[in-house]
Structure formats: C-alpha cells, structure tokens
Amino acid sequence: MTRAKVKFDIAGVERETGIGKDALRVWEKRYGFPVPERDEREERLYPQDQVDRLRLIKRLLDSGMRPVKVVGLEVPELNALLNQIPDETPQNSAELPGFIDLIKSHQAAALRVSLSRALLQQGMEEFLSKTINPLNRLVGEAWMRGEIRVFEEHLYSEQITHVLRDAIAMLRHPGDTPRILMTTLPGEEHTLGLMMAEATLSLCGAHCVMLGAQTPIQEIVLAAKAHQVDIVALSFSSAIPVLQVKSGLQLARDALPKKVALWAGGAGVARLRGPMEGVQLMGPLSDLTEAVISWRDAQPVPAK
C-alpha cells in the first residue's frame, strides 16, 4: 500500500500525533478539520496527509498556540508559523531568574508576593504556561545539579501552592460543570501538577473537588459518589514507574462506575505508550480545555 493510501482509525491518529480522540472530534465539529472518511461501520478513518497536518498542529500547540488559531490552517501556513518559533523560549517570563534567586536565598514571603504579582499581570493561563511550567523545570534541573536543596524545593512548592489556591478560590462557582474529583493515588505525593490542572479546569468553568494526595481507590469511589462527580482526574509525576501508573489507572477504572469518566495527566502519564481503554490521557494543560469542551458538547440537550 502506498503512503498516500494509508488510513488511520482515531486511536491510531491519537497514537501517531499525541492529540486526544475527544479533541479530534471537537475540532472536526468546531473548526471543520480534520475531515475523516468513514468505513463500512461508520468509524472514522484519517488519510496520511491529514495525520501529517495534525502533527504540525500539535507542534504549534506545544509551543503555546491555541487550537482556534491553528487548527483550520493549511500546511504552508502551519509551516510558516513553525518557522517563526525560535529554538529558545523567550516567551517565558523574564522574571524566572529572580524567582530562582528568591528560592535560593530562602525569601519565602518575597517569593509569594512576586509570584502573585506575576499572576495578576499575566492572567492565569499565561502565568501557568510562561511562568510556572518553565519555573518547575528550572527548579527541578537546579535540584538535580545540587544547586537547590530539598527544603528549598519544598519552600517553592509551598509558595506556589498558596498563590494558586487563592486564585482558584476566586474562580470557583458551585454550580459549574463538569464536576471533577481531583487527587493522586497512594505513593504519589506530588500535588503541584494537580493544582495547575485545577487552576486550568476552574478557568474553563469546571467545578473541581480537590482531595489532595494519596487517596486510596476505594475512598475515591466513595468520594465520587458523595460529590456526584462526572469525572475523576488523577495526576502522576515522573517519580512513579510506568507499570505502577498503568496498574493504578486500570484499578481505578475497574472500581469507578462506568458513567464516571477517568482522566489522567502529568509527566508519569506522558511516558505511557498508546491509549488505555476507558481512560482519557492528557498531555499539556491545553488538553484539559479541549476535554471540557468535548464533555459539554457530548451532554444531551435539555428538553424544552
């Protein structure tokens, strides 16, 4: 079969491009691309040229662009945008070195004030992408080089947790949907990624129920029922082995009611190869926005 005749089902496109199935369906409806063919069972089939185009779109999304800006563009336009993306990342906040200095000099109060000021200046979405994401990476790299001690990394995490928690409280509206229960499984103590996800979801108008770290699966099931949630979202850091991530997700999926969706994200999930049945795997934070849109689009229209 020639390359031009190769066609991918939707799971194959997700595997080839890293773009979730829900996002593909939303884009098809909202932006008119991709335009899949249909097989005899009415299942979507995507030609090779569309998959190639989706790879370009994914690279632009990973650079920080929004789907509405790039999904409808043709290949020459996508390539032109890619050529404008520098190898470095000057779009990151210019204040990053100053934050690192405050961490190293143990100025917790000044660090919190500076982070709060950056949030007010940038807004939540830009703050997460241009300040917190790169700052997390810089802190991690400095720790690996021995330039930052464990207690200093904890100091940073505590300050950003306070800043995000205060900001999230201002975004909460009890009646918002979907209702999302957020936690980590036993053995996963890192919650900063979970809080960044909560901030993104709250910005989308979702109602988040945060349980914090290391909740046993049976307690997650009970909490999901008590809070009548639509979705359970789990976070996995790179410290969790891949096999533990997969087994934890499978156990959670088996324990939760089928009507409750299961989302998973974080550096630990990024190492999984291929999709997991019944689990929606998230990449960058922008995936959460698309997932919320998709969830809402899938809800039945109330009868008049």
Domain CATH code at residue 216: 3.40.50.280
d(CA 104, CA 97): 11
pLDDT at 91: 58
pLDDT in tens, 142-188: 876 778 888 998 899 999 999 999 888 887 766 778 999 999 999 88
Are 108 and 56 part of one and the same domain? no
Tokens 């000099």, residue? 105
Least-confidence region, from 85-94, 188-197, 213-222: 85-94
Tell me the range of 1-5, 197-201, 222-226 where mean pLDDT is highest.
222-226
Q: Which residues pair with 101 in a beta bridge?
A: none
Domain count, the chain: 3
Give the separation between CA 156 and CA 152, rounded to whole angstroms. Answer: 6
Copy the structure tokens of residue 190: 């890192």
**What's the whole-model pTM score?**
0.67
Task: For residues 210 and 191, give the distance between their C-alpha atoms in angstroms, rounded to a whole number.
Answer: 10
Confidence at residue 191, expressed as pLDDT on a 0 to 100 scale = 87
Instruction: Lowest mean pLDDT of 4-13, 86-95, 149-158, 177-186, name the range.
Output: 86-95
The answer to whether residues 181 and 240 belong to one domain is yes
Distance CA 176, CA 170 (A): 13
* Residue 267 and residue 194 share a domain: yes
pLDDT exceeds 50 at position 138: yes
Query: Could you tell me if 177 and 293 lie in one domain?
Result: yes
What's the whole-number average pLDDT of the chain? Answer: 87
Q: Are residues 42 and 69 both part of a single domain?
A: yes
- The mean per-residue pLDDT over the stretch 221-250 comes to 92
CA atoms within 13 A on the CB side of 23: 26
Q: Name the more confident of 238 and 114.
A: 114
Instruction: Verify that 199 and 246 share a domain, yes or no.
Output: yes
Picking from 61, 84, 107, the residue at the C-terminal end of a domain is 84
Residues 123 and 185 occupy one common structural domain: no
Q: Which whole number is the average pLDDT over 271-285?
A: 86
Domain ranges, residue 247: 173-298
Question: 127 is written with which tokens?
Answer: 């703050």
- The pLDDT of residue 92 is 66
pLDDT tens, position by position, 42-60: 899 999 899 889 988 988 8
Instruction: Give yes or no for residue 62 having a pLDDT over 80.
Output: no
Q: How far apart are CA 260 and CA 137, in angstroms?
A: 33
- CATH code at 159? 1.10.1240.10
In this structure, what token pair is assigned to residue 59? 């690279």
Q: Which of 143, 170, 197 delimits the end of a domain?
A: 170
